[in-house]
Amino acid sequence: MPDTGGSAKGDFGSPRGDPIEAVLTQAPELPPPTKRDYPAKVVVHLEVKEVVLPIADGVDYTFWTFGGQVPGKFIRVRQGDTVELHLQNHPDNKMPHNIDLHAVTGPGGGATSTFTAPGHESQFTFKALNQGLFVYHCATAPVGMHIANGMYGLIFVEPPEGLPPVDHEYYVMQGDFYTVGKYRAKGLQPFDMQKAIEENATYVVFNGSEDSLVGEKALKAKVGETIRLFIGNGGPNLVSSFHVIGEIFDRVYQEGGTRYQENVQTTLVPAGGSAIVEYKIEVPGTYILVDHSIFRAFNKGALGMMKVEGEERKDIYSGKEVDSDYLADKAAPSQAVAKAAEKMKEGELTGDLQIAAGKTLFQGTCSTCHQANGEGIEGVFPPLAKSDFLMADKGRSIEIVLNGLEGSVVVNGKPYHSVMPPMSQLNDDEIANILTYVRNSWGNQGEVVSPAEVQAVREKTARPPGAAK
């Protein structure tokens, strides 16, 4: 492949034709290819909005956004285009904002020209001399905070000849978030500056929320199709080890540049950087997108899904479908739990429904330590299966889940000297269902635990410092 010549060969002269209003899209969608063979003037209207949206189930966060969601709207232009960018700062916003596009050639990348007070608009123009996939972000003081609140997105500068066609293009952008409450602590969670400085992320998510690419919102494709993912990483701090479980990337345009590497398992996406990955899908099923810095996937939310329909290919892969242990509560968060919640409202909650709901919740929250079969790990995590300690006192078991347990306990004759963190981010229904399941599984037999009982313990006892209320 010959050298593209970089910015030196990126100027195709003055814009031609009428100015074109850019099509901007929210993730995971992309604007269509420009399909142009001449340089044009492209007008981009980007509106900054400060909004409250869920970052996880029951957890809200105040995001600062380019266009109303995280990540910001996707911009697509052609190399050599002249881009006239209008930055509007919505009148209801509290903060001034600006934009720095890494696609800009010029000091500051546009930040100085676009510093805008709430209720005002600014504009600047640049020629997109380099092709590639670029991050844009806000650069207003305190810069780290504006980025940590979600102020980033992607702009793709197409090579003049465009990219080869594929069946689906998707937009996925990772970001790390820092909240005062712990992971999944319910309610509106404020930004935590100290955690951000320590790079101690509470959430690491794709497209601004734990749930943005799971269940109904999973990316979709069919067997035999070729997929192109435009991956960005807004940071502010963490570098992503982007990986799709069960797929090998046929091509990766590393760091969003021009050349590609082939046959890649995991690609690094720097904070403030990008990558384009392409792969053909041969086998149907659910593919899991993760940051393979793997605690982020299972304990901080960096997990998405692509659901692929089509004919089985047992000659390529004989395996079973989605592994629910792997996915924990993400596999089928909805059905059992939702049904229990619904019946609960109607006053028809039965022990069986609670057990079914509790099972999924248990896989998500407790099985990491106590194991899926409840047997724990000797000397480290005590067993729940046939645990004399657990079954002796229902009220105490509620208290343990809510407030954690520290110090020595003897379970079935064996001592444990360890710490269980409080799980008070779970709501009363969830704890009641989990404990009903735990107390009625693996040979345990006990009464159901009702949400009212959990509520009573919650009111009567105090949470350790730092735990969700």
Partner 1 sequence: MKRVVFFIAMIGVCIVAEAEVSPPNMSRVGPGPYRPLYPPTDKEKEIAVDAFFLDRRPVTNTEFLAFVRENAKWRRDKISGLFADERYLSHWTGSLDLGPGADAEQPVTFVSWFAAKAYCESRGGRLPYEAEWELAAAANESSADAKDDPVWQRRILDWYSKPAGRPLGKVGRSVPNYWGVFDLHGLIWEWVYDYNAALVGGDNREQGGTEKLRFCGTGALKASDKNKYADFMRIAFRSSLEARYTVGHLGFRCARDLEDK
Residue 144, contacted partner among Cu ion, ligand HEC, partner 1, none, CB below 5-8 A by kind: partner 1
229 binds ligand HEC (CB under 6 A): no
- Count of C-beta atoms within a 10 Å radius of residue 1: 6
Cβ of residue 60: shortest distance to ligand HEC, in angstroms? 23
Q: Which of 119, 187, 395, 415 binds partner 1 (CB under 8 A)?
A: 119
- The site partner of 398 among partner 1, Cu ion, ligand HEC, none (C-beta below 5 to 8 Å per kind) is none
Three-class DSSP category at 464: coil
Helix (H, G, I), strand (E, B) or coil at 397: helix
Exposed, middle or buried by CB within 10 Å (0-12, 13-18, 19+), for 292?
A: middle
Q: Which is nearer to ligand HEC, 42 or 420 (CB)?
A: 420
233 lies in the binding site for Cu ion (CB under 5 A): no
Using rule CB under 8 A, residue 91 touches partner 1: yes
Residue 151 binds which entry of partner 1, ligand HEC, Cu ion, none, with Cβ cut-offs from 5 to 8 Å by kind? Answer: Cu ion
48 has which bridge partners? 66, 89
Q: Does 356 bind Cu ion (CB under 5 A)?
A: no
Q: Per rule CB under 8 A, is residue 123 in the interface with partner 1?
A: no
The angle, 0 to 180 degrees and rounded to 10, between the axes of the packed helices 428-438 and 335-345 is: 110
* Nearer of residues 261 and 368 to ligand HEC, judged by Cβ: 368
- Residue 417 contact partner, candidates ligand HEC, partner 1, Cu ion, none, CB within 5 to 8 A by sort of partner: ligand HEC
**129-137, 161-169, 207-215, 398-406 -> range binding ligand HEC (CB under 6 A):** 398-406
Residues 139-198 binding ligand HEC (CB under 6 A) are none
Per partner kind, with CB cut-offs from 5 to 8 A, the member of Cu ion, ligand HEC, partner 1, none near residue 1 is none
Q: Is 140 in the site for Cu ion (CB under 5 A)?
A: yes
Q: Which two tokens stand for residue 220?
A: 């979709």
Please state the separation of Cα 416 from the chain's center in Å: 35
Burial letters 170-209, b for 16+ CB under 10 A, else e? bbbbbbbbbbebbbbbbeebebbeebbeeeebbbbbbbbb
Full DSSP string of 139-202: -PSSHHHHHHTT-EEEEEEE-TT-PPP-SEEEEEEEEEE-BSSPTT--EE--B-HHHHHTT--S
To Cu ion, the closest distance from the beta carbon of 190 in angstroms equals 17
DSSP 369: H
Dump the DSSP string for 234-296.
Answer: EESSPPEEEEEET--EEEEEGGG-SS-EEEESEEEE-TTEEEEEEEE--S-EEEEEEESSTHH
> Which positions from 373 to 392 touch ligand HEC by CB under 6 A, shown as an x/- string?
--------xxxx--x-xx--
Residues 6+ apart with CB under 8 A from 165: none
Q: Identify residues 149-188 at the interface with Cu ion (CB under 5 A).
A: 151
Q: How far is the CB of 426 from ligand HEC (least distance, A)?
A: 7
Q: Which of residues 404-423 bind ligand HEC (CB under 6 A)?
A: 405-407, 409, 411, 416-421, 423
- Non-local (6+) Cβ contacts of 194 within 8 A are none
Residue 68, burial from CB neighbour count under 10 angstroms (0-12, 13-18, 19+): middle
| Interacting positions 160-189 with partner 1 (CB under 8 A) | 180
Contact 317, 281 (CB under 8 A): no
| Site for ligand HEC, residues 325 to 384, rule: CB under 6 A | 365-366, 368-370, 381-384
For ligand HEC, give the closer residue by CB, 151 or 420.
420
- Binding segment for partner 1 (CB under 8 A), chosen from 144-152, 222-230, 315-323, 340-348, is 144-152
If the CB atoms of residues 56 and 213 are measured against partner 1, the closer one turns out to be: 56
Q: How far apart are CA 271 and CA 279, in angstroms?
A: 23
Query: Angle formed by the axes of helices 351-365 and 335-345, to 10°?
Result: 140
CA gap 210, 330 in Å, rounded: 10
Residue 98 or 365: the one with the smaller Cβ distance to partner 1 is: 98
Which tokens is 341 given? 């919640």
- Which one of residues 78, 97, 439, 458 is an interface residue with Cu ion (CB under 5 A)? 97
The closest alpha carbon to 438, from 351, 345, 324, belongs to 351
Q: Which residues contribute to the site for ligand HEC (CB under 6 A)? A: 365-366, 368-370, 381-384, 387, 389-390, 397, 400-401, 405-407, 409, 411, 416-421, 423, 434, 438
Binding residues for Cu ion (CB under 5 A): 97, 138, 140, 146, 151
Give me the residues that bind partner 1 (CB under 8 A), please.
50-52, 62, 91-96, 98, 100, 107-108, 111-120, 139-145, 149, 180, 190-191, 193-194, 197-198
